């Protein structure tokens, strides 16, 4: 088993990985930028090292991180999500330094991180993919010709894109002409690659993704699917496991496809195969994420499998502990990404000091976060400040619990997406499990909630103010 792991990340996912290490008797090493000096992961890890005054560059400095891991006697690095998690050079650098990278092989990361290469691999494995260009586009003329033959609308995408960025829908030739250079410049800036491709736009699809686990002994299983259709601008907001919009036959089919996809590319460790589901109940492969995902929590909740622990076990060379038939689901889980954003103001980031925070609790509630009262959210990173995960035996009860937990949570000093989520939870289409990736855009009215504090909140704010005044 591994003895010591460097966590090349920050925020809630760093804390999540530290918790897995603690349960497994593994020492954890945290890293932090100057801006993160007071971050929770720094306090929670067994050891912490400052990696520079720049907010970002330290978390992205492959050689400094690999050297630090070696110097501190680590045997492995966990990359979390974002940052270097899907960087093949990082995985390779770890290996060359005799460190285990907790994720798949560098070649597999490289291949799956390139969306056109991934599409090719899936076609070869017999997995349905959206109709689209077979490789990267060479020119706007080629793009126009390709779009004409596929039929509008099309999606223009950055080949190495991620996090919902570098994607534009084009409804006609003019739009494609206009967006072509935009996406190229976006892609160059955000991902350091100018490669773009296009594929058919599936109008208002459902986003269904399957969690897979594969070991180094040829075993691969899936942990069923998640429904991430509640998105804004291609970014996930609320995720659900399993999808309340699939029947059991679809569930088995898509799980099976994901395992075939993983096996066909020699995948190891935890990964996610993302699909789109159209109105005619057809699934199309979209991309594979070669890392732990933000929403791995809901799969853990309904299956009882600790995905981060399994990642570490697989990386240590152990065989999978579960056979496919041993994976049992129970009920529904919903995750809310609590973002420091103001829904009423075009979801503008709302960074600042958390004046008071208390986590929601009670049955069926899990909170993954790295915030605490008095913590100042630095403006340099992701706006996601917490994940609230609820579960219950039925879809209806999971919704009720979600509502209760979000109201239960106390988070003051910044604006968050919580009041907006409470509106989504009330919506009949959400309640009857009938929604697609167009939901947020189609229901722009849901941001028109009242900002008047609820009486019980008001009471607690007054109580807190009085307590701080009297020094109680």
**Binding region for Mg ion (CB under 5 A) out of 34-42, 85-93, 270-278, 383-391:** 270-278
Residues with Cβ within 8 Å of residue 213, at least 6 apart in sequence: 220, 221, 222, 223, 269, 270, 305, 307, 310, 314, 320
Q: Which is nearer to ligand ADP, 289 or 369 (CB)?
A: 289
Calculate the alpha carbon distances from 151 to 119, 378, 380, 395 in Å: 19, 44, 40, 38
Q: Which is nearer to Mg ion, 199 or 274 (CB)?
A: 274
Is residue 199 a contact residue for ligand ADP (CB under 6 A)? yes
| Residue 45 DSSP class | S
Is residue 155 a contact residue for ligand ADP (CB under 6 A)? yes
The only residue of 28, 61, 116, 289 in contact with ligand ADP, by rule CB under 6 A: 289
Is residue 293 a contact residue for ligand ADP (CB under 6 A)? yes
Residue 440 interacting partner from ligand ADP, Mg ion, none (CB closer than 5 to 8 Å by kind): none
User: What single string gives the DSSP state of each residue in 150-210?
Assistant: H-SSEEEEETT--TT-SEEEE-SHHHHHHHHHHHHHHHHHHHS---EEEEE--SS-EEEEE
Question: In the bound complex, what is the minimum distance in angstroms from residue 209's beta carbon to Mg ion?
Answer: 8
Sign of CA dihedral 320, 322, 325, 327: negative
| Catalytic residue flag (residue 291) | yes
Minimal CB distance residue for ligand ADP = 162
Is residue 202 a contact residue for ligand ADP (CB under 6 A)? yes
The only residue of 58, 161, 242, 413 in contact with ligand ADP, by rule CB under 6 A: 161
Residues 237-256 that bind ligand ADP (CB under 6 A): none
| CA-based nearest residue to 344, from 418, 405, 437, 426 | 418
Which residue of the set 27, 291, 337, 401 is catalytic?
Answer: 291
Q: Which is nearer to ligand ADP, 161 or 413 (CB)?
A: 161
Q: Which is nearer to ligand ADP, 342 or 382 (CB)?
A: 382
Question: In the bound complex, what is the minimum distance in angstroms from residue 114's beta carbon to ligand ADP?
Answer: 11
Give the x/- contact pattern for Mg ion in 9-38, rule: CB under 5 A: ------------------------------
385, containing H or E segment: strand 384-392
Q: Which is nearer to Mg ion, 74 or 118 (CB)?
A: 118
Q: Which is nearer to Mg ion, 215 or 274 (CB)?
A: 274
Please tell me whether the peptide bond between 303 and the residue prior to it is cis, using omega within 30 degrees of 0.
Answer: no
Minimal CB distance residue for Mg ion = 274
Yes or no: say if 200 and 284 are a contact pair by the CB < 8 Å rule.
Answer: no
Yes or no: say if 307 and 270 are a contact pair by the CB < 8 Å rule.
Answer: yes
Question: In the bound complex, what is the minimum distance in angstroms from residue 161's beta carbon to ligand ADP?
Answer: 5
Is residue 410 a contact residue for ligand ADP (CB under 6 A)? no
Separate counts of helices (H) and strands (E) for the chain = 16, 20
Please give the size of the binding site for ligand ADP, defined by CB under 6 A. 31
Q: Which is nearer to Mg ion, 274 or 300 (CB)?
A: 274
Is residue 382 a contact residue for ligand ADP (CB under 6 A)? yes
Give the x/- contact pattern for ligand ADP in 206-235, rule: CB under 6 A: -x-----------------------x--xx
Is residue 82 a contact residue for ligand ADP (CB under 6 A)? yes
Is residue 286 a contact residue for ligand ADP (CB under 6 A)? yes
Tokens 């891991």, residue located: 69
Question: In the bound complex, what is the minimum distance in angstroms from residue 163's beta carbon to ligand ADP?
Answer: 3
Angle between helices 62-71 and 88-96 (to 10 degrees): 30
Beta-sheet pairing, 356-358 with 220-232: unpaired
| Residue 369 DSSP class | E
Q: Is 65 left (phi over 0), alpha (psi -120 to 50) or beta?
A: alpha
Is residue 130 a contact residue for ligand ADP (CB under 6 A)? yes
Is residue 186 a contact residue for ligand ADP (CB under 6 A)? no
Is residue 81 a contact residue for ligand ADP (CB under 6 A)? yes
Is residue 112 a contact residue for ligand ADP (CB under 6 A)? no
Residues with Cβ within 8 Å of residue 438, at least 6 apart in sequence: 203, 204
Question: And the tokens for 185?
Answer: 């410049």
Angle between helices 296-303 and 307-315 (to 10 degrees): 100
Q: Coil, helix or strand for 464?
A: helix
**Binding region for Mg ion (CB under 5 A) out of 8-16, 259-267, 273-281, 377-385:** 273-281
Backbone angles phi and psi of 39, in degrees to 5: -75, 150
Tokens 């992205």, residue located: 60
Q: Which is nearer to Mg ion, 115 or 366 (CB)?
A: 115
Q: What residues make contact with Mg ion under the rule CB under 5 A?
A: 274
Q: What residues make contact with ligand ADP under the rule CB under 6 A?
A: 81-82, 86, 130, 155, 161-164, 167, 191, 199-202, 205, 207, 231, 234-236, 274, 276, 286-287, 289, 293-295, 382, 437
Active site residues per annotation:
291
């Amino acid at each position: 088993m591994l003895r010591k792991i460097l966590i090349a990340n920050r925020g809630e996912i760093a804390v999540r990985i530290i918790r897995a290490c603690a349960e497994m008797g593994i020492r954890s090493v945290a890293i932090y930028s100057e801006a993160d000096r007071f971050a929770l992961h720094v306090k929670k890890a067994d050891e912490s090292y400052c990696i520079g005054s720049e907010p970002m560059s330290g978390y992205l400095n492959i050689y400094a991180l690999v050297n630090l891991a070696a110097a501190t006697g680590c045997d492995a690095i966990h990359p979390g999500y974002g940052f270097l998690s899907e960087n093949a050079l990082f995985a390779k650098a770890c290996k060359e330094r005799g460190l285990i990278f907790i994720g798949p092989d560098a070649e597999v990361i490289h291949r799956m991180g390139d969306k056109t290469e991934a599409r090719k691999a899936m076609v070869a494995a017999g997995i349905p993919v959206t109709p689209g260009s077979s490789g990267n586009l060479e020119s706007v003329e080629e793009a126009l010709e390709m779009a004409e033959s596929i039929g509008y609308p099309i999606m223009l995408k950055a080949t190495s894109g991620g996090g919902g960025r570098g994607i534009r829908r084009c409804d006609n030739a003019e739009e494609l002409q206009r967006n072509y250079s935009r996406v190229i410049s976006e892609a160059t800036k955000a991902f350091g690659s100018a490669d773009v491709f296009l594929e058919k736009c599936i109008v208002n699809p459902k986003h269904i993704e399957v969690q897979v686990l594969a070991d180094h002994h040829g075993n691969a299983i899936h942990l069923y699917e998640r429904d991430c259709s509640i998105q804004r601008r291609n970014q996930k907001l609320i995720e659900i496991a399993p999808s309340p919009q699939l029947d059991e036959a679809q569930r088995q089919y898509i799980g099976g496809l994901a395992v075939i996809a993983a096996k066909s590319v020699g995948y190891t460790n935890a990964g996610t195969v993302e699909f789109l589901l159209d109105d005619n109940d057809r699934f199309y492969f979209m991309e594979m994420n070669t890392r732990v995902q933000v929403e791995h929590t809901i799969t853990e909740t309904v299956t009882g499998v600790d995905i981060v622990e399994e990642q570490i076990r697989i990386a240590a060379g152990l065989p999978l502990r579960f056979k496919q038939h041993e994976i049992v689901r129970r009920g529904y889980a919903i995750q809310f990404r609590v973002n420091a954003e103001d829904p009423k103001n075009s979801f503008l980031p709302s960074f600042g000091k958390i004046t008071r925070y208390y986590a929601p609790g009670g049955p069926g509630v899990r909170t993954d976060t790295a915030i605490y009262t008095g913590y100042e959210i630095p403006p340099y990173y992701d706006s996601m400040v917490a994940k609230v995960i609820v579960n219950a035996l039925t879809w209806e009860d999971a919704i009720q619990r979600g509502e209760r937990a979000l109201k239960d949570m106390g988070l003051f000093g910044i604006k968050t997406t919580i009041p907006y989520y409470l509106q989504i939870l009330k919506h009949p289409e959400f309640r009857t499990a009938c929604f697609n990736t167009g939901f947020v855009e189609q229901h722009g009215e849901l941001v028109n909630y009242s900002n008047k504090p609820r009486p019980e909140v008001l009471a607690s704010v007054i109580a807190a103010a009085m307590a701080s005044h009297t020094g109680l």
